[in-house]
């Protein structure tokens, strides 16, 4: 386990340093608790739009090309992303380029200019990004499922927002939102890879020490209410149907999350999983099919996603429901349980080999106020999961009244509610 240095500065900003002596690269990442769940309906999409605008120019680097050319000149891999819970900016570089990468990433976070002419240009970029997702049903179906689960509240809104919002957001909106959210006490800086703690601490203190605390905008608590199965069908002429079938679960702090991970692995976590064998290998009904938990700060779900032969949709839904119910009726066998746990642990270890991956492994925990858990400790907890715990978590969350089906396909005036039973 890497020895992590964790520093909380006087202004509330947190720094994690994850040194790896044999790493050829260093990643600088800044995470801020300013995701779409902090928005109101009128400004839904602003968090993501703001992330784009930080790359349009800063006081020191006024043009997008100034930012891109400098990072490209270091051989950097760099980007940013916005989620429901937080936004992040990062650059991964060879160790010798740490200072330059840190200077650029901190500049993006600290000194964006939000020029009006850049806002106008970026409206078109984001509108086309929204169009791209709308035209990609495999991506779009996830948003449809979230809307089905959570409805007209932040958890149910699209992170990119509706196009009508993108067309009317103003410079003043960006400045106001940033002042309420981009605050030191809501920010985590992670430096991982071939770096010493002393050097990282000095860099962060110099750039971020000037930040002043403020009054942070708070999220609305997610309201969950469901008394019967639900469906949301988007009618579209497609060669295959894309669907997500799932159940409500719990938040990311729940101790049952390890058992849920094992359940999802057995169900649809790999090419030897139950759903892969039945839906793809036996029925030939799908190219992709899988299951995974998605847990947030105050809600979560287990979802099964698949792209299915239009003629076999009802059959596949039936198989998924059978397999969900099976977890309640019988315990997972010892051999299957151990295989699933080893697959999860193997995937985990492989996924944190690089400096950028390990930075987000720890940074994601820190920004969400999860007690820091190393990959080795997470592996130990996965390996301790019993068949009884898997069965118990299935009994807790797999109920008929909690079933939800989102679907995009060539179905007009067709309902699947009559088969949603476990």
Q: Which residues are catalytic?
A: 51
Question: Which helix (H) or strand (E) covers residue 119, if one does?
Answer: helix 116-134
CA distances from 19 to 92, 190, 417 (A): 14, 11, 52
CA distances from 21 to 26, 160, 238, 372 (A): 11, 39, 51, 21
Q: Are 159 and 48 in contact (CB under 8 A)?
A: yes
- Alpha-carbon distance 53 to 48, whole Å? 9
Q: Which of 381, 382, 372 is nearest to 2 (CA)?
A: 372
In eight-state DSSP terms, residue 276 is I
What does the longest C-alpha to C-alpha distance in the chain come to? 64
**Structure tokens of 34?**
């300013």
Q: Are 305 and 406 in contact (CB under 8 A)?
A: no
Residue 376: Cβ within 10 Å count: 12
Q: Are 216 and 180 in contact (CB under 8 A)?
A: yes
């Amino acid at each position: 386990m890497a020895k992590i240095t964790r520093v909380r500065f006087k202004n509330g900003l947190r720094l994690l340093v994850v040194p790896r002596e044999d790493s050829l690269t260093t990643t600088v990442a800044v995470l801020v608790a300013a995701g779409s769940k902090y928005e109101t309906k009128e400004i839904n999409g602003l968090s993501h739009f703001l992330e784009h605008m930080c790359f349009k120019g800063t006081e020191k680097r006024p043009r997008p090309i100034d930012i891109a050319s400098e990072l490209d000149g270091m051989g950097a891999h760099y980007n940013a992303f916005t989620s429901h819970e937080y936004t992040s900016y990062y650059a991964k570089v060879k160790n010798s380029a740490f200072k330059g990468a840190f200077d650029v990433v901190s500049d993006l976070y600290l000194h964006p200019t939000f020029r009006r002419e850049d806002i106008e240009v970026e409206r078109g970029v984001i509108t086309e990004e929204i169009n791209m997702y709308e035209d990609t049903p495999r991506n779009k179906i996830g948003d449809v499922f979230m809307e089905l689960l959570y409805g007209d509240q932040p958890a149910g809104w699209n992170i990119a927002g509706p196009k009508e919002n993108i067309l009317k957001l103003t410079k003043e909106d960006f400045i106001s939102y940033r002042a309420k959210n981009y605050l030191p006490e809501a920010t985590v800086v992670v430096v991982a890879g071939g770096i010493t703690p002393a050097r990282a601490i000095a860099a962060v203190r110099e750039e971020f020490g000037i930040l002043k605390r403020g009054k942070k905008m708070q999220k609305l608590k997610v309201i969950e209410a469901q008394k019967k199965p639900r469906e949301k069908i988007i009618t579209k002429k497609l060669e295959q149907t894309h669907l997500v079938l799932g159940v409500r679960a719990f938040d990311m702090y729940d101790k049952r999350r390890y058992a849920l991970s094992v359940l999802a692995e057995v169900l649809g976590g790999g090419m030897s999983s139950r759903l892969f064998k039945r839906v793809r290998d036996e029925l030939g009904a799908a190219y992709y099919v899988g299951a995974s938990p998605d847990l947030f700060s105050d809600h979560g779900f287990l979802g099964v996603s698949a792209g299915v032969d239009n003629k076999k949709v009802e059959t596949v839904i039936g198989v998924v429901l059978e397999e969900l119910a099976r977890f309640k009726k019988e315990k997972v066998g010892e051999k299957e349980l151990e295989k699933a746990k080893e697959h999860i642990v193997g995937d985990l270890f492989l996924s944190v080999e690089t400096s950028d991956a390990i930075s987000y492994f720890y940074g994601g925990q820190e920004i969400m106020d999860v007690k820091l858990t190393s990959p080795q400790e997470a592996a130990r907890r996965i390996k301790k999961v019993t068949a009884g715990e898997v069965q118990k978590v299935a009994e807790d969350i797999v109920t008929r009244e909690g079933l939800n089906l989102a679907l995009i396909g060539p179905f007009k005036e067709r309902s699947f509610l009559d088969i949603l039973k476990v």
